């Protein structure tokens, strides 16, 4: 299993091509997200709408 860190997730969420391409290339791997990373990303949200969008995106990853 591959665990994603906050830096990678920020790059993916911002659409940074190398990070997005790398993550798409990992489709055959099991990918997890530490709960701390999810909390750091949620902490950075500016408003509720942004938080809801983030939570929807993060729901595709199992939290650990």
pLDDT score recorded for residue 12: 97
Nearest CA to 53 out of 62, 40, 64, 42 is that of: 42
pLDDT score recorded for residue 53: 97
Mean pLDDT by 10 residues, the chain (64 residues): 96 97 94 96 96 96 95
pLDDT score recorded for residue 10: 97
pLDDT score recorded for residue 59: 96
Q: How many C-beta neighbours within 10 Å does residue 9 have?
A: 21
pLDDT score recorded for residue 14: 96
- Which helix (H) or strand (E) segment is 31 a member of? strand 31-32
**Length of the chain (residues):** 64
pLDDT score recorded for residue 31: 95
Count helices and strands (H / E) in the chain.
Answer: 4, 2
Name the pTM for this structure: 0.87
């Amino acid at each position: 299993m591959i665990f994603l860190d906050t830096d990678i997730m920020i790059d993916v969420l911002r659409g940074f091509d190398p990070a997005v391409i790398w993550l798409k290339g990992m489709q055959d791997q099991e990918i997890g997200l530490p709960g701390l990373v999810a909390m750091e990303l949620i902490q950075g949200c500016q408003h509720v709408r942004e938080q809801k969008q983030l939570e929807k995106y993060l729901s595709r990853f199992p939290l650990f």
